[in-house]
Amino acid sequence: MDIQDTGYLTIALPKGKLFGISSELFAKIGYTADGLYEKSRKLVITNDEKKIRFIITKTADVPTYVEYGAADIGIIGKDVLMESGKDVYELLDLGFGRCHLMMAVPQSQKRAKLTSYAHTRVATKFPHIAERFFNSKGMQMEYIKLNGSIELGPIVGLSESIVDIVETGTTLRENNLEEIAYIMDATARLIANRVSFKMKFERIRQMTEDLRTILESGEDK
C-alpha cells in the first residue's frame, strides 16, 4: 500500500527527547500502533484499523517530510522548525520540550557590549536563526555550522561564541561558558502539510482539538 494513500493519516515523530512524550500524547487520544517505539527497525509503523501511519525520523528531517507531503503532520521543536524555513502550517504549541536559544561566550573572554562581538565567529547548529538575530542588532558575523558539541567551538578556538539551545544551563557552566544574549523560546509544535490540511481537514482538526483538550486538562503530565 502506498504510504501517501489518502485514507491514512501519516504522522512524523522525531527521534530523541521529544519522541516519548509525543507518542504518549498521541496514545491518550487513541493514536497508537503496535511496535511504535523509538528504536524500532521498521521505518513505517501502521495501524490499519484506525488508518494511521507513524514514521520515526531524525529531528531535523521532520519539517521536510511534512512540507513535501510524505507525512501529513509532525511534531517538532520551534527552534528546528524556524531554522528549517519549511512551508508548513503550525497548528498547536504543545508546551513540552521547553528550552531557549541564546548566545554564550567563555567567561574569561566576556566583552562589555554585545556589539563588541561583531565580525567574530559564532559556532551553531542554527545559522539561519543566528543570522536573523545578529542582523537585527546590526552585526555581521561569520557562521560556523556544527551538528553537535557546540560548546567545544570556543574551547578549541574554532569560534569566539556559540548560539545554541539551553534547558538548564548545566553544560554551559561545566564548560565555563556564560549566556550573554537571549534569542527566543522554543517548545514542541504540531505542524501539518498545507495540502493535507485541506484534503484531510476534518480529521486533522479533530485530532488537533483532542490534543488541545488533553494539554489544557493537564492529562499530559
Residues 14, 86, single domain; the answer is: yes
**Sheet-wide strand order for 9-14:** 44-47, 52-57, 9-14, 73-77, 188-192, 89-93
Residue 209 is predicted with a pLDDT of 97
Residues 174, 213, single domain; the answer is: no
Q: Is 4 a domain residue?
A: no
Q: Is 54 a domain residue?
A: yes
Residue 2 has pLDDT above 50, yes or no: no
Q: Is 3 a domain residue?
A: no
Q: Is 75 a domain residue?
A: yes
Residue 9 has pLDDT above 50, yes or no: yes
In sequence order, what are the beta bridge partners of 214? Answer: none
Rounded average pLDDT over 108-135: 96
Residues 33, 75, single domain; the answer is: yes
Residues 54, 134, single domain; the answer is: no
Residue 220 is predicted with a pLDDT of 62
Cα 199 to Cα 72: distance, rounded to the nearest angstrom: 10
Q: 48 and 32 in contact (C-beta within 8 Å)?
A: no
Considering the chain, what percentage of its residues have pLDDT values greater than 70? 96
Range of the domain at 110: 99-185
Residues 93, 122, single domain; the answer is: no
Residue 221 is predicted with a pLDDT of 61
Residues 134, 87, single domain; the answer is: no
Q: Is 211 a domain residue?
A: yes
Q: Is 66 a domain residue?
A: yes
Residue 40 is predicted with a pLDDT of 78
Domain CATH number, residue 35? 3.40.190.10
Domain count, the chain: 2
Instruction: Show the cell assigned to 17.
Output: 527527547
Q: Is 2 a domain residue?
A: no
Residue 22 is predicted with a pLDDT of 95
Residues 75, 121, single domain; the answer is: no
Residue 53 is predicted with a pLDDT of 95
Tens digit of pLDDT for each residue in 32-58?
999 888 787 888 999 999 999 999 999
Q: Is 16 a domain residue?
A: yes
Q: Which residue has the cell 521498521?
A: 42
Q: Which of 15-19, 46-50, 176-180, 217-221 has the lowest mean pLDDT?
A: 217-221
Sequence-distant (6+) residues with CB within 8 A of 46 are 8, 33, 52, 53, 54
pLDDT band, very low/low/confident/very high, at 217 (cuts 50, 70, 90): confident
Rounded average pLDDT over 75-93: 97
Residues 104, 178, single domain; the answer is: yes
Residues 175, 69, single domain; the answer is: no
Tens digit of pLDDT for each residue in 122-161?
999 999 999 999 999 999 999 999 998 999 999 999 999 9
